[in-house]
Structure 1
Amino acid sequence: MPIYLLLVRRNHSVGWIDAIAVLVGVAAVGLEFVADLQMHRFARTKQPGQVLDRGVWAWSRHPNYFGEFSFWLALALFGLATDPAAWWWVFAGPAVMLALFEGASIPMMEKRSLERRPTYQDVIDRVPRFVPRPPRRNP
């Protein structure tokens, strides 16, 4: 829905929030692309019980979800740039996506991963759950 604001308000001039939105959006699509590419390559050669924890997957256990959330955030930023008074509803999309990821998708996937691959616990201990950051190393 934030894009609706861009479509109906044609007098909007591009500003710094738009620039940030473009950067966030491009980074989000790039992250999702790289995460999916790395997962597809890993899936072709993985051994039973093996877990992907290299590349962007070493920085986040769910980098593709973070990329998707970030894309929704970029859309919200475009909406905010167009109509700052509408901030409360343009961020509904990212908020819902975050709630779905953190409340349903990620917990279900991690439970299933632990059941199928007990070594996944090591990944949980080292790799951040959602927001990418340098991974922790085991002592």
Structure 2
Amino acid sequence: MIQKIGAAIVKDHQLLVVSKKKFPDHYILPGGKPKEGETDLEALARELKEELQLELVSSTLLGNFETTSMFGKESMFLTVYVVKVRGEPVPNNEIGAYKWIPIETQEAENLGTGITKCTLPALREVIRVCTQ
């Protein structure tokens, strides 16, 4: 099973997603795999700095999710944090592109399962509960 840590970076009711250069048509959450001995947040801070030149300021656990990889080949355990960052995204040589998608989007094409089946539904539920 793949273990990944993802960052839900939200601005103006939109979620930041990235595509890797080797899979330019597939968008995922910023983040990655923790290195041996790293905590989730250490891994997330490192990945955000490496991938997008963003500094992790604060975080709140959104949830732990079990799903399949976006290509449906492997099981994935995804831990997602809603994070506040400092800076504007500047993709490194591994990231092909980034974009902001509306949290309310129902469009699933080209979005990873960690986004469509886990992160977006959880964010929508938090917003629903907080605005009742």
Same fold (TM over 0.5): no
Scaled by the length of structure 2, the TM-score of the pair is: 0.22
Quick check: which one's strand share is greater? 2
- The structure number with the bigger radius of gyration is 1
Question: Could you tell me the TM-score, scaled by structure 1's length?
Answer: 0.21
Indicate the structure with greater helix content. Answer: 1
